Structure 1
Amino acid sequence: MNMPKSALMIVDVQLAPFIWAQYGGKELYQAQELLHHIQSLIQKARSAGSPVIYMQHTEDGESPHGLGQPLWQIHPEVAPQEGDLTMVKYHADPFLRTELHVKLQELGITRLIITGVQTEYCVDSTCRAANSLGYTNVLVADGHSTFDSENLTAQQIIDHHNKVLGSQFAELRRTEEVLF
Protein backbone atom coordinates (compact mmCIF):
# COMPACT_ATOMS: atom_id res chain seq x y z
CA MET A 1 0.00 0.00 0.00
CA ASN A 2 1.41 3.38 -1.02
CA MET A 3 1.52 6.19 1.51
CA PRO A 4 -0.36 9.33 0.40
CA LYS A 5 1.91 12.14 -0.69
CA SER A 6 2.50 14.23 2.42
CA ALA A 7 3.65 17.76 3.17
CA LEU A 8 4.65 19.36 6.43
CA MET A 9 2.61 22.52 7.08
CA ILE A 10 4.15 24.91 9.60
CA VAL A 11 1.52 27.44 10.64
CA ASP A 12 2.54 30.91 11.88
CA VAL A 13 5.79 29.97 13.61
CA GLN A 14 6.95 33.56 13.44
CA LEU A 15 9.00 35.60 15.90
CA ALA A 16 6.11 37.54 17.49
CA PRO A 17 4.58 34.79 19.68
CA PHE A 18 8.01 33.68 20.90
CA ILE A 19 8.99 37.12 22.21
CA TRP A 20 5.62 38.53 23.24
CA ALA A 21 6.39 38.00 26.94
CA GLN A 22 9.41 40.33 26.62
CA TYR A 23 6.98 43.12 25.74
CA GLY A 24 4.47 42.58 28.54
CA GLY A 25 2.46 39.84 26.86
CA LYS A 26 2.01 36.23 27.85
CA GLU A 27 4.55 33.43 27.55
CA LEU A 28 4.06 31.00 24.66
CA TYR A 29 3.52 27.61 26.30
CA GLN A 30 6.50 25.26 25.98
CA ALA A 31 8.04 27.41 23.25
CA GLN A 32 11.45 25.69 23.20
CA GLU A 33 9.87 22.23 23.12
CA LEU A 34 7.68 23.35 20.22
CA LEU A 35 10.71 24.54 18.24
CA HIS A 36 12.51 21.27 18.97
CA HIS A 37 9.52 19.24 17.73
CA ILE A 38 9.22 21.33 14.57
CA GLN A 39 12.95 20.94 13.88
CA SER A 40 12.51 17.16 14.14
CA LEU A 41 9.51 17.24 11.80
CA ILE A 42 11.38 19.36 9.26
CA GLN A 43 14.28 16.89 9.29
CA LYS A 44 11.88 13.95 8.79
CA ALA A 45 10.05 15.70 5.97
CA ARG A 46 13.22 16.67 4.14
CA SER A 47 14.71 13.18 4.57
CA ALA A 48 11.56 11.71 3.02
CA GLY A 49 11.55 14.25 0.18
CA SER A 50 8.26 15.76 1.38
CA PRO A 51 7.59 19.46 0.85
CA VAL A 52 7.87 21.84 3.80
CA ILE A 53 5.28 24.60 3.66
CA TYR A 54 5.36 27.71 5.84
CA MET A 55 2.28 29.85 6.39
CA GLN A 56 2.84 33.40 7.65
CA HIS A 57 0.06 35.31 9.37
CA THR A 58 0.14 38.83 8.01
CA GLU A 59 -1.66 42.06 8.84
CA ASP A 60 -2.16 45.13 6.70
CA GLY A 61 -0.53 48.48 7.30
CA GLU A 62 2.17 49.35 9.78
CA SER A 63 1.41 46.48 12.13
CA PRO A 64 4.39 44.68 13.75
CA HIS A 65 2.85 41.62 12.03
CA GLY A 66 2.90 43.39 8.67
CA LEU A 67 4.56 42.00 5.58
CA GLY A 68 8.34 42.07 5.97
CA GLN A 69 8.38 43.46 9.53
CA PRO A 70 10.93 41.92 11.94
CA LEU A 71 8.32 40.18 14.15
CA TRP A 72 6.61 38.78 11.04
CA GLN A 73 9.67 36.71 10.07
CA ILE A 74 9.72 32.92 10.51
CA HIS A 75 11.51 31.94 13.73
CA PRO A 76 15.20 31.48 12.79
CA GLU A 77 15.44 28.08 14.51
CA VAL A 78 12.99 26.64 11.97
CA ALA A 79 13.65 28.97 9.04
CA PRO A 80 12.79 27.94 5.48
CA GLN A 81 15.46 26.66 3.15
CA GLU A 82 15.70 27.00 -0.59
CA GLY A 83 12.95 24.94 -2.17
CA ASP A 84 10.51 25.30 0.75
CA LEU A 85 7.19 26.96 0.02
CA THR A 86 6.36 30.09 2.03
CA MET A 87 2.91 31.64 1.74
CA VAL A 88 1.41 34.80 3.20
CA LYS A 89 -2.08 34.59 4.67
CA TYR A 90 -4.38 37.28 6.06
CA HIS A 91 -6.91 34.98 7.74
CA ALA A 92 -6.85 32.13 10.26
CA ASP A 93 -7.86 29.79 7.41
CA PRO A 94 -4.72 29.42 5.25
CA PHE A 95 -6.81 28.43 2.22
CA LEU A 96 -8.92 31.59 2.27
CA ARG A 97 -7.81 33.95 -0.51
CA THR A 98 -4.46 32.20 -0.99
CA GLU A 99 -3.06 29.88 -3.62
CA LEU A 100 -2.41 27.13 -1.04
CA HIS A 101 -4.97 24.62 -2.35
CA VAL A 102 -3.76 25.11 -5.94
CA LYS A 103 -0.10 24.66 -4.92
CA LEU A 104 -0.90 21.50 -2.93
CA GLN A 105 -2.80 20.08 -5.90
CA GLU A 106 0.10 20.89 -8.24
CA LEU A 107 2.43 19.00 -5.87
CA GLY A 108 0.02 16.06 -5.63
CA ILE A 109 -0.30 16.48 -1.87
CA THR A 110 -3.19 14.60 -0.27
CA ARG A 111 -1.97 14.44 3.35
CA LEU A 112 -0.94 17.35 5.59
CA ILE A 113 1.17 17.08 8.73
CA ILE A 114 0.10 20.18 10.70
CA THR A 115 2.14 21.98 13.35
CA GLY A 116 2.34 25.56 14.56
CA VAL A 117 0.87 28.43 16.51
CA GLN A 118 -1.81 29.31 17.79
CA THR A 119 -3.76 26.21 18.71
CA GLU A 120 -7.27 27.65 19.00
CA TYR A 121 -7.01 29.97 16.03
CA CYS A 122 -4.89 29.21 12.99
CA VAL A 123 -4.00 25.59 13.81
CA ASP A 124 -7.67 24.78 14.43
CA SER A 125 -8.75 26.63 11.26
CA THR A 126 -6.09 24.86 9.20
CA CYS A 127 -7.26 21.41 10.31
CA ARG A 128 -10.92 22.15 9.68
CA ALA A 129 -10.43 23.86 6.32
CA ALA A 130 -8.05 21.19 5.02
CA ASN A 131 -10.49 18.48 6.09
CA SER A 132 -13.31 20.25 4.25
CA LEU A 133 -11.17 20.29 1.11
CA GLY A 134 -10.57 16.54 1.32
CA TYR A 135 -7.06 16.39 2.74
CA THR A 136 -6.08 13.68 5.17
CA ASN A 137 -4.66 15.53 8.16
CA VAL A 138 -2.25 14.58 10.88
CA LEU A 139 -2.23 17.07 13.75
CA VAL A 140 1.02 16.79 15.66
CA ALA A 141 -0.39 16.52 19.20
CA ASP A 142 2.78 17.91 20.80
CA GLY A 143 3.54 20.19 17.85
CA HIS A 144 1.27 23.16 18.42
CA SER A 145 1.04 25.76 21.16
CA THR A 146 -0.79 28.76 22.52
CA PHE A 147 -1.01 31.10 25.51
CA ASP A 148 -2.98 30.84 28.74
CA SER A 149 -6.38 32.52 28.37
CA GLU A 150 -8.44 34.18 31.07
CA ASN A 151 -10.30 30.92 31.69
CA LEU A 152 -8.00 28.09 30.61
CA THR A 153 -4.34 27.21 30.75
CA ALA A 154 -2.51 26.72 27.49
CA GLN A 155 -2.29 22.99 28.26
CA GLN A 156 -6.07 22.80 28.72
CA ILE A 157 -6.60 24.58 25.40
CA ILE A 158 -4.18 22.21 23.65
CA ASP A 159 -5.76 19.12 25.24
CA HIS A 160 -9.25 20.29 24.28
CA HIS A 161 -8.29 20.97 20.68
CA ASN A 162 -6.43 17.69 20.36
CA LYS A 163 -9.58 15.90 21.51
CA VAL A 164 -11.97 17.85 19.26
CA LEU A 165 -9.78 17.99 16.16
CA GLY A 166 -8.64 14.39 16.66
CA SER A 167 -12.23 13.17 16.80
CA GLN A 168 -13.14 14.28 13.28
CA PHE A 169 -10.72 16.59 11.52
CA ALA A 170 -7.28 15.01 11.94
CA GLU A 171 -5.43 11.97 13.10
CA LEU A 172 -3.35 12.74 16.19
CA ARG A 173 0.31 11.73 16.29
CA ARG A 174 3.13 12.78 18.58
CA THR A 175 6.28 14.07 16.89
CA GLU A 176 8.15 10.78 17.27
CA GLU A 177 5.22 8.89 15.70
CA VAL A 178 4.92 11.03 12.55
CA LEU A 179 5.91 9.34 9.30
CA PHE A 180 6.14 10.98 5.87
Structure 2
Amino acid sequence: MRTAVLVVDVQRGLVEGEAAVPDADTFVAGLAAFLERARLDGVPIVHLQDEGTAPDSPIRRGTEGWELALAVGSGEVVLSKSDDDGFRGTGLHDTLQARGADRLIVVGIQSEMCVAATARGALDRGYTVVMPREGHTTYDVPDDDAGGPAVPAALVARVAEWSLGDAVELPQTLDDVTWS
Protein backbone atom coordinates (compact mmCIF):
# COMPACT_ATOMS: atom_id res chain seq x y z
CA MET A 1 0.00 0.00 0.00
CA ARG A 2 1.13 3.53 -0.77
CA THR A 3 -0.11 6.15 1.69
CA ALA A 4 -0.84 9.82 1.04
CA VAL A 5 -2.05 12.56 3.39
CA LEU A 6 -5.09 14.70 2.53
CA VAL A 7 -5.29 18.01 4.40
CA VAL A 8 -8.87 19.29 4.15
CA ASP A 9 -9.61 23.02 4.45
CA VAL A 10 -7.01 24.03 7.03
CA GLN A 11 -7.34 27.68 6.13
CA ARG A 12 -6.56 30.82 8.08
CA GLY A 13 -10.19 31.92 8.32
CA LEU A 14 -11.04 28.69 10.17
CA VAL A 15 -8.15 28.78 12.65
CA GLU A 16 -7.71 32.52 13.29
CA GLY A 17 -10.04 35.21 14.57
CA GLU A 18 -13.74 35.00 15.37
CA ALA A 19 -14.45 32.00 13.12
CA ALA A 20 -11.65 29.84 14.55
CA VAL A 21 -12.44 26.28 15.58
CA PRO A 22 -12.03 25.52 19.30
CA ASP A 23 -8.38 25.04 20.35
CA ALA A 24 -7.21 26.04 16.88
CA ASP A 25 -3.61 26.78 17.90
CA THR A 26 -3.13 23.32 19.40
CA PHE A 27 -4.81 21.68 16.41
CA VAL A 28 -2.64 23.52 13.86
CA ALA A 29 0.57 22.83 15.80
CA GLY A 30 -0.25 19.12 15.94
CA LEU A 31 -0.96 18.96 12.21
CA ALA A 32 2.21 20.91 11.39
CA ALA A 33 4.31 18.37 13.32
CA PHE A 34 2.43 15.48 11.67
CA LEU A 35 3.02 16.90 8.18
CA GLU A 36 6.70 17.39 8.94
CA ARG A 37 6.93 13.70 9.89
CA ALA A 38 5.17 12.76 6.65
CA ARG A 39 7.58 14.92 4.63
CA LEU A 40 10.63 13.40 6.29
CA ASP A 41 9.28 9.94 5.45
CA GLY A 42 8.51 10.86 1.83
CA VAL A 43 4.73 10.56 2.13
CA PRO A 44 2.85 12.53 -0.55
CA ILE A 45 0.69 15.38 0.81
CA VAL A 46 -2.28 16.99 -0.93
CA HIS A 47 -3.92 20.14 0.46
CA LEU A 48 -7.57 20.87 -0.33
CA GLN A 49 -8.57 24.54 -0.23
CA ASP A 50 -12.25 25.46 -0.05
CA GLU A 51 -13.34 28.30 -2.32
CA GLY A 52 -15.60 29.84 0.34
CA THR A 53 -18.19 31.13 -2.12
CA ALA A 54 -20.75 32.46 0.40
CA PRO A 55 -20.59 36.26 0.72
CA ASP A 56 -20.01 36.06 4.50
CA SER A 57 -17.61 33.09 4.39
CA PRO A 58 -14.49 33.44 6.57
CA ILE A 59 -12.60 31.60 3.80
CA ARG A 60 -13.83 33.59 0.81
CA ARG A 61 -11.43 33.28 -2.12
CA GLY A 62 -8.93 36.12 -2.32
CA THR A 63 -9.11 37.04 1.37
CA GLU A 64 -6.51 36.34 4.06
CA GLY A 65 -8.95 33.82 5.53
CA TRP A 66 -8.83 31.81 2.30
CA GLU A 67 -5.07 31.26 2.60
CA LEU A 68 -3.80 27.92 3.84
CA ALA A 69 -2.79 27.93 7.51
CA LEU A 70 -0.10 25.26 7.08
CA ALA A 71 3.02 25.53 4.97
CA VAL A 72 2.96 23.72 1.65
CA GLY A 73 6.16 21.77 1.06
CA SER A 74 8.05 21.27 -2.17
CA GLY A 75 6.24 18.84 -4.46
CA GLU A 76 2.99 19.03 -2.51
CA VAL A 77 -0.22 19.70 -4.39
CA VAL A 78 -2.90 22.27 -3.58
CA LEU A 79 -6.32 21.71 -5.13
CA SER A 80 -9.18 24.21 -4.92
CA LYS A 81 -12.62 22.80 -4.25
CA SER A 82 -16.17 24.12 -4.18
CA ASP A 83 -17.90 20.96 -2.91
CA ASP A 84 -17.77 19.31 0.51
CA ASP A 85 -16.35 16.17 -1.14
CA GLY A 86 -12.77 16.97 -2.14
CA PHE A 87 -12.99 14.47 -5.00
CA ARG A 88 -15.76 16.31 -6.87
CA GLY A 89 -14.48 18.51 -9.65
CA THR A 90 -10.90 18.77 -8.37
CA GLY A 91 -8.79 16.13 -10.08
CA LEU A 92 -7.96 14.70 -6.64
CA HIS A 93 -8.43 11.07 -7.70
CA ASP A 94 -6.09 11.50 -10.69
CA THR A 95 -3.55 13.31 -8.50
CA LEU A 96 -3.55 10.45 -5.99
CA GLN A 97 -3.41 7.79 -8.70
CA ALA A 98 -0.38 9.51 -10.26
CA ARG A 99 1.34 9.12 -6.88
CA GLY A 100 0.32 5.47 -6.56
CA ALA A 101 -1.74 6.15 -3.43
CA ASP A 102 -4.33 3.65 -2.28
CA ARG A 103 -4.38 4.49 1.45
CA LEU A 104 -5.31 7.99 2.63
CA ILE A 105 -4.78 9.73 5.94
CA VAL A 106 -7.59 12.31 6.01
CA VAL A 107 -7.14 15.29 8.35
CA GLY A 108 -8.69 18.73 8.47
CA ILE A 109 -11.48 21.03 9.50
CA GLN A 110 -15.22 20.46 9.77
CA SER A 111 -15.31 16.80 10.66
CA GLU A 112 -19.00 16.41 9.88
CA MET A 113 -18.87 18.21 6.55
CA CYS A 114 -15.82 18.38 4.27
CA VAL A 115 -13.65 15.90 6.19
CA ALA A 116 -16.37 13.22 6.33
CA ALA A 117 -17.54 13.93 2.76
CA THR A 118 -13.99 13.58 1.44
CA ALA A 119 -13.47 10.39 3.47
CA ARG A 120 -16.70 8.98 1.98
CA GLY A 121 -15.55 10.00 -1.49
CA ALA A 122 -12.30 8.14 -0.89
CA LEU A 123 -14.12 5.01 0.31
CA ASP A 124 -16.40 5.14 -2.74
CA ARG A 125 -13.30 5.09 -4.94
CA GLY A 126 -11.76 2.09 -3.18
CA TYR A 127 -9.18 3.83 -1.00
CA THR A 128 -8.34 2.64 2.50
CA VAL A 129 -9.16 5.59 4.78
CA VAL A 130 -7.48 6.49 8.07
CA MET A 131 -8.96 9.40 10.03
CA PRO A 132 -6.95 10.02 13.20
CA ARG A 133 -9.17 11.44 15.94
CA GLU A 134 -6.60 14.08 16.80
CA GLY A 135 -6.35 15.06 13.12
CA HIS A 136 -9.79 16.55 12.51
CA THR A 137 -11.88 19.13 14.29
CA THR A 138 -15.04 21.18 13.99
CA TYR A 139 -17.27 23.70 15.72
CA ASP A 140 -19.70 23.57 18.60
CA VAL A 141 -23.27 23.38 17.29
CA PRO A 142 -25.40 26.04 19.03
CA ASP A 143 -28.90 25.34 20.27
CA ASP A 144 -31.66 26.44 17.95
CA ASP A 145 -35.05 28.16 18.10
CA ALA A 146 -36.86 24.85 17.75
CA GLY A 147 -35.43 23.50 21.01
CA GLY A 148 -32.55 21.55 19.52
CA PRO A 149 -29.74 21.27 22.07
CA ALA A 150 -26.24 22.66 21.75
CA VAL A 151 -23.68 20.00 20.84
CA PRO A 152 -19.98 20.35 21.73
CA ALA A 153 -17.45 20.13 18.91
CA ALA A 154 -15.84 16.96 20.27
CA LEU A 155 -19.18 15.15 20.13
CA VAL A 156 -19.90 16.45 16.63
CA ALA A 157 -16.49 15.11 15.50
CA ARG A 158 -17.17 11.73 17.12
CA VAL A 159 -20.54 11.44 15.38
CA ALA A 160 -18.83 12.24 12.07
CA GLU A 161 -16.43 9.34 12.68
CA TRP A 162 -19.27 7.02 13.62
CA SER A 163 -21.24 7.97 10.49
CA LEU A 164 -18.44 6.57 8.32
CA GLY A 165 -18.88 3.07 9.74
CA ASP A 166 -16.31 0.36 10.28
CA ALA A 167 -14.53 0.94 6.97
CA VAL A 168 -12.46 3.81 8.40
CA GLU A 169 -9.46 3.31 10.66
CA LEU A 170 -9.58 5.68 13.66
CA PRO A 171 -6.23 5.92 15.45
CA GLN A 172 -6.48 8.02 18.60
CA THR A 173 -3.53 10.34 17.98
CA LEU A 174 -1.50 11.61 15.05
CA ASP A 175 1.53 9.85 16.54
CA ASP A 176 -0.37 6.54 16.24
CA VAL A 177 -0.56 6.90 12.45
CA THR A 178 1.71 4.64 10.42
CA TRP A 179 2.43 4.87 6.72
CA SER A 180 1.59 1.25 5.93
TM-score bin, normalised by smaller chain = 0.7 to 0.9
SS at match of 2:79: strand
- Whole-Å separation in 2 of the counterparts to 1:16 and 1:39: 17
- Whole-Å separation in 1 of the counterparts to 2:122 and 2:154: 24
* Match in the other structure for 1:159: 158
SS at match of 1:9: strand
Count of aligned positions: 170
SS at match of 1:149: coil
SS at match of 1:124: helix
- Whole-Å separation in 2 of the counterparts to 1:39 and 1:108: 24
- Opposite residue 19 of structure 1, the aligned amino acid is E
**Once structures 1 and 2 are overlaid, which stretch shifts more, 155-164 or 50-59?**
155-164
- What's the offset of the Cα at 1:68? 3.1
* Match in the other structure for 1:18: 15
Q: Which runs of 5+ in 2 are unaligned?
A: 143-149
**Once structures 1 and 2 are overlaid, which stretch shifts more, 105-114 or 52-61?**
52-61
- Whole-Å separation in 2 of the counterparts to 1:40 and 1:66: 27
- What's the offset of the Cα at 1:61? 8.3
* Match in the other structure for 2:43: 50
In the alignment, structure 1 residue 149 sits paired with structure 2 residue 141: yes
- What's the offset of the Cα at 1:36? 2.1
- What's the offset of the Cα at 1:7? 0.7
- Opposite residue 39 of structure 1, the aligned amino acid is A
- What's the offset of the Cα at 1:140? 1.3
* Match in the other structure for 1:123: 115
Tell me if structure 2 keeps the 8 A contact 1:94–1:126: yes
**Once structures 1 and 2 are overlaid, which stretch shifts more, 51-60 or 91-100?**
51-60
- Whole-Å separation in 2 of the counterparts to 1:67 and 1:161: 26
What TM-score comes out, normalization by structure 1 length?
A: 0.87
- Whole-Å separation in 2 of the counterparts to 1:126 and 1:178: 19
- Whole-Å separation in 1 of the counterparts to 2:35 and 2:90: 23
Query: What fraction of aligned residue pairs are identical, expressed as a percent?
Result: 29
1:68 to 62, 71, 82: 62
What root-mean-square deviation, in Å, do the aligned CA atoms of Structure 1 and Structure 2 show? 1.7
* Match in the other structure for 2:166: 168
SS at match of 2:80: strand
Tell me if structure 1 keeps the 8 A contact 2:116–2:161: no
Change beyond 3 A, Cα 1:169–1:129: farther
Change beyond 3 A, Cα 1:99–1:127: same
Change beyond 3 A, Cα 1:69–1:101: same
SS at match of 1:142: helix
- Whole-Å separation in 1 of the counterparts to 2:161 and 2:53: 31
Q: Which runs of 5+ in 1 are unaligned?
A: none
